[in-house]
Amino acid sequence: MTSTAESPAPPPGTGAAADAAPAYLSHRQILTVMVGIMSGMMLAALDQSIVGTALPRIVSDLGGLDQLSWVVTAYLLTSTAVVPLWGKISDLYGRRLIFQVAIGIFIVGSLLAGLSQDMTQLIIFRAVQGVGGGGLMSIALAIIGDIIPPRDRGRYQGAFAAVFGISSVAGPLLGGFFTDGPGWQWIFYINVPIGIAALVVTSMALRIPTVRRQHSIDYLGAALIVASVTSLILYLDWRGPDHGWTEAGALALLAASVLLAALFVWAESRAKEPIIPLHLFRLSIFSLGNVFNALSGFAMFGGLVFLPLYLQAVQGMSPTVSGLAMLPAVVGIFITSIGSGQLISRTGRYKIYPIAGAAVLTVALLLLSTVATGTPYWQIALYSVLFGAGLGFTMQTVVTAIQNAVPRADMGSATSASMFFRQMGAAVGTTVAGVVMSTQLQNYLADSAPPGAAPASAEVDVNNIAAIQALPEPVHGIVLDAFSGAIGDVFLFSAPFVVLSLIVAFFIKEIPLAQRQSPADATAAAAH
């Protein structure tokens, strides 16, 4: 755990003084600004959990069952693809303005989504939402990097974790309430007042000096990364599952993604203002931190998706009750996020926490892989606490390490790159976990059928949880056993990727976290 100095040379055109004298805010100012930042983050964090609950009702009202997956895919596609672009634009034009633009786009997309009259309109407006949502989280984290010294950031880490924890519980609760009450449209309309409040607070309280400098937009790089990510997600979420992973069209999308990614790297090496500056990859903290983010995102988000599925399909809970049943995971997130944040602020050391987080996550996933039809909830709750504890150790720590290591002029690009790699890991991990789930489910159902009889899957739609709960015995028990076995295999499949992230965490260097400077300190630093 020895500290190793790693001081990158600023890129051409970046003033040392600008990096040496950051305009950190006071504690009182930070608390005010965080209300607006967290409102924006909450918009993005709530989206997936609240929408998923309402999808069955949306389909019954608008039709288009064959287009159902696109309601989620459209948002995932645009929100992931534009993340690096938002970060770079915020570096060039200032955080507050671009953060507010992202909020505005998200509000407009939400309002239009609620007004949708058919599934095609909803998919288009969900894509618009995604464009705004891709900027909300990455720019919010970049703003935090601007206003809070890395050494002090742990003091506020619990508040960041609260956004994710509350959204994971509140999403299904609100989704169920609006769907059963005023209508599914309100899962989108609710974003409007929250977004307006975020705009008001950021306008009044968010004051970050913007260093004006000559700039040019890397349009080629932006187009290439959007096209590459789009091809990959279409392969993972559409062509592969629907037409076969080795079908000609699917392989063409995969090949296009790889080729476009290679062209993106080539374009970035020649761009004046690259979307993701390649010189950042010379920093081992940036490179290894993002490998860690991708690997942990691969496993973490799969767990967040399939644990509620287990609670609903196997334990028979409603979406609302399953949201409440996830509270132990939220408790785990709070305990380790707040605790590690306070210790980071006191000691200035962070390396131990991604190591501890990956280790705890590995244990949690192995325990979750043992869940069965008769597993009592208290055991699931205990495993969920451990799962949340692993998340709490890792959610913000690696981002803080990356922000501390990069030149200040690249704060937005570095932060958005960190979010980008985590989201890509999540997109790939969730899709692959879904393939494991469906394959193993069919295998278990086939194995359970008596010789010469049709498997239970022939008698029921295994994608319809309500239909599963209504099955007569013994088919009901057979299907639940198959579900619990398949979901357990998903957790077991995810564990090796967390083990890889644990190995990577040991190689992440630990450099002193920057502290708040007094005006005299800043002047002296700038003079050197």
DSSP string, 305-329: HHHHHHHHHTS---HHHHHHHTHHH
**Per-residue confidence (pLDDT) for residue 207, from 0 to 100:** 66
| Domain spans of the chain, in order of start | 21-207, 221-270, 279-513
For residue 3, give the 3-state DSSP assignment: strand
Q: Phi, psi at residue 417, to the nearest 5°?
A: -65, -40
Confidence category of residue 452, pLDDT binned at 50, 70, 90: low
Residue 3: strand pairing partners = 510
Question: The tokens 């633009």 sit on which residue?
Answer: 101
For the CA atoms of 65, 318, 166, 414, the dihedral, rounded to the nearest 10 degrees, stands at -40
pLDDT of res. 288 = 94
Band (pLDDT 50/70/90 cuts) for residue 208 is low
**Between residues 232 and 57, which one has the greater pLDDT?**
232
pLDDT score recorded for residue 456: 53
Provide the pLDDT for residue 523.
35
pTM of structure? 0.78
The tens digit of pLDDT for each residue in 142-163 reads: 888 777 777 777 667 666 766 7
Q: Which residue has the higher pLDDT, 418 or 524?
A: 418
> Is pLDDT of 25 > 70?
no
* For residue 281, pLDDT beyond 80: yes
Which of 4-8, 154-158, 372-376 bottoms out in mean pLDDT, i.e. has the lowest? 4-8
String of DSSP letters for 342-390: HHHHHH---THHHHHHHHHHHHHHHHHTT--TT--HHHHHHHHHHHHHH
- Average of per-residue pLDDT values in the chain: 79
Please say if the pLDDT value at position 3 is more than 50. no
* Class of 279-513 in CATH: mainly alpha
Confidence of residue 520 (pLDDT cuts 50, 70, 90): very low
Q: Confirm whether 21-207 and 279-513 share one CATH topology.
A: yes
pLDDT in tens, 296-305: 888 776 666 7
CATH 3.20.110.20, domain 21-207, yes or no: no
Residue 359 pLDDT > 90, yes or no? yes
257 and 231 Cβ atoms separated by less than 8 Å = yes
190: nearest Cα among 43, 78, 34, 59: 43
Better-scored residue on pLDDT, 80 or 215: 80
- Predicted local confidence at residue 464, as pLDDT: 64
Q: Does 15 have pLDDT greater than 50? A: no
- What band does 352 get if pLDDT is binned at 50, 70 and 90? very high
* Mean pLDDT calculated for residue range 307-327: 80
Token code pair at residue 481: 């056993």
Range with the lowest mean pLDDT among 159-173, 267-281, 514-528? 514-528
In which band, very low, low, confident or very high, does the pLDDT at 377 lie, cut at 50, 70 and 90?
very high
Q: Confidence class of residue 9 from pLDDT cuts 50, 70 and 90?
A: very low
pLDDT band at 66 (very low <50, low <70, confident <90, very high): low
Dihedral sign for Cα atoms in the order 397, 401, 402, 403: positive
In this structure, are residues 253 and 231 in contact, taking their beta carbons and an 8 Å threshold? Answer: yes
Residue 1 is predicted with a pLDDT of 42
pLDDT of residue 504: 94
CA nearest 129: which of 85, 162, 93, 80?
80
Cα Dmax for the chain? 84
Tokens coding 356: 């501890």
C-alpha 386/C-alpha 337 separation (Å) is 13
What is the rounded end-to-end Cα distance, in angstroms, of the chain?
30
Specify the residue for token string 């890129």: 11
The average pLDDT across 236-250 equals 80
* Average pLDDT of the residues in 496-503: 93
Is the pLDDT reported for residue 16 higher than 80?
no
CB atoms within 10 A of CB 69: 15
Give residue 39's pLDDT band: very low, low, confident or very high (50, 70, 90).
confident
